[in-house]
Amino acid sequence: DIQMTQSPSSLSASVGDRVTITCRASQSVSTYLNWYQHKPGKAPNLLIYATSSLQSEVPSRFSGSGSGTDFTLTISSLQPEDFATYYCQQTYILPYTFGQGTDLEVK
Amino acid sequence: EVQLVESGGGLVKPGGSLRLSCAASGFTFSNYAMNWVRQAAGKGLEWVSYIDSSTSHTYYADSVAGRFTISRDNARNSLDLQMDRLRAEDTAVYYCARDGGGSYSPNDYWGQGTLVTVS
Read off the pLDDT of residues B5-39 as tens digits, 9 standing for 90 and up.
Answer: 999 999 999 999 999 999 999 999 999 999 999 99
What rounded mean pLDDT belongs to chain B? Answer: 96
Q: Residues A55-60: contacts with CB within 8 Å, 24+ apart? A: A55/B106, A55/B108
Tell me, yes or no, if B35 comes closer than 8 A to chain A by beta carbon. Answer: yes
Chain A residues within an 8 Å CB radius of B92? none
Which residue among B45, B59, B100 places its CB closest to the CB of A94? Answer: B59
Beta-strand runs (E) in B26-66: 34-39, 45-51, 58-60
CB B107 to CB A87 under 8 A?
no
Read off the pLDDT of residues A9-29 as tens digits, 9 standing for 90 and up.
Answer: 999 999 999 999 999 999 999
SS3 at position B89 = helix
CB B50 to CB A94 under 8 A?
yes
Asked if residue A2 has pLDDT above 90, the reply is yes
CB A1 to CB B105 under 8 A?
no
Read off the pLDDT of residues A53-100 as tens digits, 9 standing for 90 and up.
Answer: 999 999 999 999 999 999 999 999 999 999 999 999 999 999 999 999
A3: nearest CA in chain B?
Answer: B46
Helix and strand tally (H, E) in chain B?
A: 0, 11
pLDDT at residue B32, rounded to an integer: 95
Cis upstream peptide for B106 (omega within 30°): no
Chain B, 42-101: which have a CB under 8 Å from a chain A CB?
44-47, 50, 59-62, 95, 97, 100
The DSSP bridge partners found for residue B118 are B12
Sheet strand arrangement including B3-7: B3-7, B18-25, B78-83, B68-73
Tell me, yes or no, if B25 comes closer than 8 A to chain A by beta carbon. Answer: no
Asked if residues B5 and B29 have their Cβ atoms less than 8 Å apart, the reply is no
Asked if residues B45 and A44 have their Cβ atoms less than 8 Å apart, the reply is yes
**What percentage of chain B carries pLDDT values higher than 70?**
100
Beta-strand runs (E) in A4-67: 4-7, 10-13, 19-25, 33-38, 45-49, 53-54, 62-67
pLDDT at residue B102, rounded to an integer: 82
Best residue of A34, A73, A91 to probe chain B, by most B CBs closer than 10 Å: A91
Read off the pLDDT of residues B48-98 as tens digits, 9 standing for 90 and up.
Answer: 999 999 877 999 999 999 999 999 999 999 999 999 999 999 999 999 999
Asked if residue B101 has pLDDT above 90, the reply is no
CB A43 to CB B111 under 8 A?
yes
Tell me, yes or no, if A97 comes closer than 8 A to chain B by beta carbon. Answer: yes
Question: Who has greater pLDDT, A30 or B102?
Answer: A30
Quickly state the pLDDT bin for B106 (edges 50, 70, 90).
Answer: very high
**What percentage of chain B carries pLDDT values higher than 90?**
93
The DSSP bridge partners found for residue B10 are B116
pLDDT at residue A101, rounded to an integer: 98
pLDDT at residue B87, rounded to an integer: 98
